[in-house]
Structure 1
Amino acid sequence: MTPDPLDTILERSAPATRAADAGDLRAMMDAARTEARPRRHRRVGIVSGALALALAGGASFAAASSSWDWNAGMNPNRSHTYTSPTWGECELRVGNIVAANPLRQFELDRAIDDWFATADVAAEVEPYIAGHLAVLEGDQSDATDPRSADAYYWVAVDEALGDAMSAGLSERGFDNASISTGSGQVHCEGEQWE
């Protein structure tokens, strides 16, 4: 086979290369995952859609009664209290948070417990609420259900708590990719879901 003179010239003109360092590649991939992963804002659209269905007369979210029980895994030490527009004092509990890597579950639980124990949760959550509330109210501005204000505020606080906790966990070595699932539950003094 006859060598192509252009290939020969290109091979001689190529800069010297070295093998990539595995540690550098791993750091680049981790950085790309962190930057490319969107923040938890995807849930807002899903939750606001569910709220629209519920407020339009669909299935109710929870039964309101004085004997209302918390779901399993809702830890009272992982809670945030706030005042709802008309339903009064509310408690939002976080639970069933599962690490993406099962080997880090104990470490994640300790980090979450540490954040709730040491952070001023109300102060951490507050800056995020208005942004989430604006999105929810913008999506559902035509809602006439009297429960809308309370339901929107609950979802905004829930999302804000998730954002604040995410920032706190990031400082403790857990990014959004470290958590696969989690849930929350709210109970207010004067809630009216039906």
Structure 2
Amino acid sequence: MDKLVERIKSDGTVFPGEILKVDNFINHMVDPELMEEMGEDFYQHFHDKEVTKVLTAEVSGIAIATPVAKRFKVPMLFAKKSQSLTLGGNVYTSRIYSYTKEQHFNLRVSKDFLSADDKVLIIDDFLANGEALSGLVDLCQQAGAEVAGIGIAIEKSFQAGGEKFRQAGFDIYSQAVIVGFTDDQVIFAGEEDKD
């Protein structure tokens, strides 16, 4: 998706450890017009999948997943990272590790909201090693739900996550694919040989 790539080039910041900071338009302060366009782009790719739910992880995926769900006219469900009294114990739970936060989390989804009748489109902001995605897929598998597709805003294709899930047969569509970093520059797929 060209608009997302251009926005990353103009407003993204590269940090040591191959970390891309996009908190000024995706995962802290959100550009709602960009989110709407990303939602439409995901809809165009997955429109034939008979999606019944859009699933993401708390917190950063919510802004992207909401316009996707709106376009599909289905509920958006997010896996909670924190336990609450209102969530109760009737949940599917999957443990994941966050590289950027350097800690483990439990992702939780109420069994009332995810079932074997669902065809789930998973949406997330980043795909690198695939930890969060593993947790979201695991939640669907626990429920017996079908993963109809996986939409990723930004994929770091030089890390193992995308390839692992593609080899497992999942339909993954990434809007911006990063093949590497040089100094403080992001190199996107198709730009590798440019001088």
In terms of Rg, which structure is larger? 1
The answer to which structure has the higher helix fraction is 1
State the TM-score, normalized to the length of structure 1: 0.25
The answer to which structure has the higher strand fraction is 2
Higher relative contact order, chain-length normalized (CA < 8 Å, sep 6+): 1
